[in-house]
Structure 1
Amino acid sequence: MKILVTGANGLLGQKLARLLDEDPEIELVATARKPLGYALQNGVYAKMDIENKEDIVSAFFEHKPEVVIHAAAMTQVDDCEVQREQCWTANVTSVELLAEACQWYNTHLIYVSTDFIFDGSHGPLDENEKPAPVNYYGESKLAAEKVVQASSLTWSILRTVLVYGVTPDMSRSNIVLWVKNSLEQGKPIKVVNDQWRTPTLAEDLAMGCYLAAKKNAKGIFNISGKDFMSPYDIAIKTAEYFKLDKSLITATDSDTFKQTARRPLTTGFVIEKARKELGYEPRSFEEGLKIMSEQL
């Protein structure tokens, strides 16, 4: 099976490329705008800017992938709110271009989406929940889901939540690394305690993508962690695990923590469908911290 991965230099992209590269039954084509920051044992790198139609056409013509896992996106929520045209191009136009290319080669498209397509009024959520985004990032990701669903392709949409993990070059930050680094420097931090998520280890999300590809899964699947936690809970558990001073952590609420884009208060996912149909089983948050600590 030949699988093309977009965004192979990102946190998910790196974990996914390494996982696929280990499977002798998979021919991996890892794509990114710039050369990979790591070595592949069996797979190949192809330069591909997801916003450039010529790049996409060239990569598809040369490699003719059977599956595309679209892991690239503009994910900085506040930047998306301000830089709307750039966000739309990165998150929606790119999917239109990829879907068109997939149609030429009868390629199965796996699209990685987000809990931010929901309004945050309640959770955890299952796959049948009605989307209603409260920020532009969520709007762009929902629009891309609709592009996928309206296509004549075979497709999977994998929705995820608050991804955390470590890359070898430490180029990608996330809530766990931010908390750890802040406390190590003795910096007091304020963390919201009125938002709720099911934080997802990057390795688990990569495994969800891998399983969807191997099983030729079709439809929408929630792929996240299994622990329902607030960012404040995440910060406290991170401090405890790494034996850092948790007295530096102060709980606050979303009203006093001003950000450019609104965040949904409560999301998190029910993952029973992925468990039953894909065999997906994520680690606990503590197990995720252990994996991160071994990589640091």
Structure 2
Amino acid sequence: MDELKNSRRVIITGSNGFLGQKLTDMLVEKQQVQLCCTSQGPNRNPNTKGYEFVQLDLLDTEGLSSLIDSFQPTHIVHTAAITSVEICEQEPEKCKKLNIDVVSTIAELCRSRDIHLTFLSTDFVFDGKNGPYDELSPSNPCNAYGQSKLMAERAIHDSGCKAAILRTILVYGIIADKNRSNLVLWAKSKLEAKEAIKVVSDQWRMPTWVDDLAKACILSIEKNATGIYHISSDKMFSIQEAVEEVAAFWDLDKTLITAIRAEEIGQAENRPQRTGFILKKAKDELGFQPTTFLESLAYIDQQFKYYRK
């Protein structure tokens, strides 16, 4: 991996988010970029040193433009978004403003100021009928969230800015902020508490360890990558199988896990059934190397000792 240069100045949007906090911590640890983090609310990252934090509503275009002009980034990593399928369906105008219009604004600001943009997208740009997918596979979202991300991708392309679009799948892992949960932490917590859980058995994904995704963002910065890249692990699991792996790793009671079908919880039509990615392009061009799901659980177990001490 090429070393980041001190001349690189990076803004992370959505820095209170799961990926945002992990990426912040990784870049601070490298100590090779000047870093500015921004989120709509006050900083929730327990690690507050080694970077500048600016509270900012990204809908405030003037404030966003002012921040960019004052910090003068060479790179922006745009992680902020509404990721809830349900909220995107229920509040289409809010979804459009945050997931499409803000991206279009940031892309234009990057183009006019020669800033490299890394944008986070999703496997939900696909309908899940023909997974796993490569970057050239036809997109066909089955929900408003996936549609908003696809339109944001197109806005970036149309802007002409230098940009890498990183699509990812079902991100999991652990960060210092205890309020951030995900499939692995949820399953582990419930099963440790001896609580019965219901898990979808007929949807398949290649889950993405948040550390791997943050590393992919750093590779995008280092290489000034352009184009679309698929970032995930490289083994397909049903959601049920992934949760059973969690139970097995931490020696928890699998009999507490009940399989349900997506249609039982209203997710048969608005969630893709089988996604998954072909990672060849990311491996060849970025040098991305995914961590296996089982290996990542071992790392997470070690990180628990650090983050929850």
Q: Deviations over 1:252-287 (max 9, x none)?
A: 222223249710001011111111111111111012
Aligned residues between the structures: 296
Equivalent residue for 1:103? 111
The answer to which of 94-103 and 150-159 deviates more is 94-103
- The CA deviation at 1:240 is 0.8
Equivalent residue for 1:123? 131
The one-letter amino acid paired with 1:167 is I
Match status 1:90 vs 2:113: no
- The CA deviation at 1:187 is 2.0
Please tell me whether the aligned partners of residues 77 and 261 of structure 1 are also in contact (alpha carbons under 8 angstroms).
no
Identify unmatched segments of 5+ residues in structure 1. none
CA–CA separation in structure 2 for the residues paired with 1:97 and 1:51: 9
CA–CA separation in structure 2 for the residues paired with 1:208 and 1:46: 24
CA–CA separation in structure 1 for the residues paired with 2:147 and 2:121: 11
Matches within 5 A, 1:79-228: 79-228=87-236
Match status 1:46 vs 2:41: no
CA–CA separation in structure 1 for the residues paired with 2:114 and 2:125: 28
Distance 1:182 1:24, change over 3 A: closer
Please tell me whether the aligned partners of residues 68 and 108 of structure 1 are also in contact (alpha carbons under 8 angstroms).
yes
Q: Give the alignment's TM-score, normalised by structure 2.
A: 0.92
Equivalent residue for 1:9? 16
- The CA deviation at 1:289 is 1.3
The answer to which of 60-69 and 14-23 deviates more is 14-23
Please tell me whether the aligned partners of residues 196 and 266 of structure 1 are also in contact (alpha carbons under 8 angstroms).
yes
Equivalent residue for 2:4? none
Q: Which 4+ stretches in 1 moved above 4 angstroms?
A: none
CA–CA separation in structure 2 for the residues paired with 1:263 and 1:22: 36
Matches within 5 A, 1:14-33: 14-33=21-40
Match of 2:288 among 263, 267, 280: 280
CA–CA separation in structure 2 for the residues paired with 1:78 and 1:41: 35
The one-letter amino acid paired with 2:128 is G
Please tell me whether the aligned partners of residues 18 and 40 of structure 1 are also in contact (alpha carbons under 8 angstroms).
no
- The CA deviation at 1:175 is 1.1
CA–CA separation in structure 1 for the residues paired with 2:209 and 2:66: 33
Equivalent residue for 2:5? none
Match status 1:75 vs 2:114: no
Distance 1:260 1:57, change over 3 A: farther
Please tell me whether the aligned partners of residues 65 and 105 of structure 1 are also in contact (alpha carbons under 8 angstroms).
no
Percent of matched pairs sharing the same residue: 41
